Amino acid sequence: MAKKRLGFALIGCGTIAPWHMQAIERVEGAELVAVSDLRAERARKAGEEYGVDWYTDYKQVLQRDDVDAVSVLTPSGVRKEIVIAAAAARKHVIVEKPIEVTLERTDAMIKACREAGVKLAVIFQNRFLPGIRKIKESVDTGQFGRLILGDAYVKWYRTQEYYDSGGWRGTWKYDGGGALMNQSIHTIDLLLWVMGPVRSVSAKTATLAHTNIEVEDVAVATLKFTNGSLGVIEGSTALYPGFPHRLEIHGEKGSAILQGEQIVFWDLKDGERLETPFPRKKEEAPGGQADPTRIGTEGHYLQIKDFVEAIREGREPQVNGEEGRRTVELITAIYESAKTGKEVTIKP
């Protein structure tokens, strides 16, 4: 008989932690029971706010019998060891994007969770929102016909203070990259979800507006998808004042444009034409184009709800480890192309 509730623990209590805590609190059958962070003051603050035990060593969290699942919210480049330890302790795992910073480290995490028989999910909460789901369903049912062009534009802005706020930000080892791996990755995930896998990529990257960072703050890539369609990715954290992310999907029978969370253009030859944006805009949050703390909470709630249901039903989460791997594969190929000046082919 399934337990009446699943006990969650947070590993990492940084910027994104409140979104996970609020989502867990909302999900029926889930309960936050512990938090941990290397910084005692952050762990204490989160623990006291939600009335749960707090730790500075995540291994103590993994020893608790009442912890069934962990949200891993640490800097990207240190997650492998944590996830492998969690899998060994038979804890289900949900990690923030990106899953890790290299394919080698990512694959080790996926393998550990598979072998331990625990679920692994990767936060790409935008997949759960109604605008993109309408586009995905319509493409999959053939309403757009043959896909021709798919573009992702993430023209965001981050201050120098943002990068200076943590020693890991803007580093290859811990952040895995810049505007692409950290910010644009959500929209890149949506592009891959709708358009399918990429066969090859050519790219340029640069660091033009920030100092004391190792990674790019602007990037442009051209893509060839395995279905023969083409695409473009533009990503930046250097474009003041920051603009809503934009996804464009074009097929032989129609086009759609998603801006932020809304479809702002929709026209099908043999179907509907959008007259007003869908869905109607909520005032919940303006978006993360200039401030990473100004994102909505609904996506995290829906994805963590799916994660809990996947554990209970014995199925895969909608965004499992392999799905999370796809963005790392593409973005690291973009970096390779930018470094070598050559087109990079992605193995099927």
Of the candidate ranges 107-116, 164-173, 276-285, 318-327, the one whose mean pLDDT is the lowest = 276-285
* Whole-number pLDDT of residue 289: 84
* Whole-number pLDDT of residue 293: 75
Backbone angles phi, psi at 263, to 5 degrees: -80, 120
C-alpha closest to that of 177 among 149, 203, 152, 151: 203
pLDDT category of residue 5 using cuts at 50, 70 and 90: very high
* Whole-number pLDDT of residue 1: 40
Which numeric CATH code is attached to 6-125+299-319? 3.40.50.720
Q: What is the share, in percent, of the chain residues with pLDDT greater than 90? A: 91
| Mean per-residue pLDDT of the chain | 96
Q: Does the structure show a pLDDT above 90 at 32?
A: yes
C-alpha closest to that of 309 among 128, 76, 42: 128
Q: Does the structure show a pLDDT above 80 at 158?
A: yes
Q: Does the structure show a pLDDT above 60 at 331?
A: yes
Second CATH level (architecture) for the domain 126-291+328-345: 2-Layer Sandwich (3.30)
Q: Where in the chain is the domain with CATH 3.40.50.720?
A: 6-125+299-319
Structure tokens, 261:
């969370």
Q: What is the per-residue pLDDT across 259-277, written as a single tens digit (0 to 9) for each?
A: 999 999 999 998 889 988 9
Torsion of CA 61, 63, 68, 72, to 10 degrees: 40
Whether residue 9 contacts residue 34, with contact meaning beta carbons closer than 8 Å, is answered with: yes
- For residues 204-227, give the mean pLDDT: 99
pTM value?
Answer: 0.96
- For residues 82-88, give the mean pLDDT: 99
Whether residue 149 contacts residue 337, with contact meaning beta carbons closer than 8 Å, is answered with: no
The span from the CA of 73 to the CA of 96, in Å, is 6
Q: Where in the chain is the domain with CATH 3.30.360.10?
A: 126-291+328-345
**Bridge partners for 262 per DSSP:** 259
Structure tokens, 135:
């586009």
Q: What is the share, in percent, of the chain residues with pLDDT greater than 70? A: 97
Q: What is the per-residue pLDDT across 106-121, written as a single tens digit (0 to 9) for each?
A: 999 999 999 999 999 9
Whether residue 155 contacts residue 84, with contact meaning beta carbons closer than 8 Å, is answered with: no
Q: How far is CA 238 from CA 67, 157, 179, 199, in A?
A: 41, 5, 9, 29
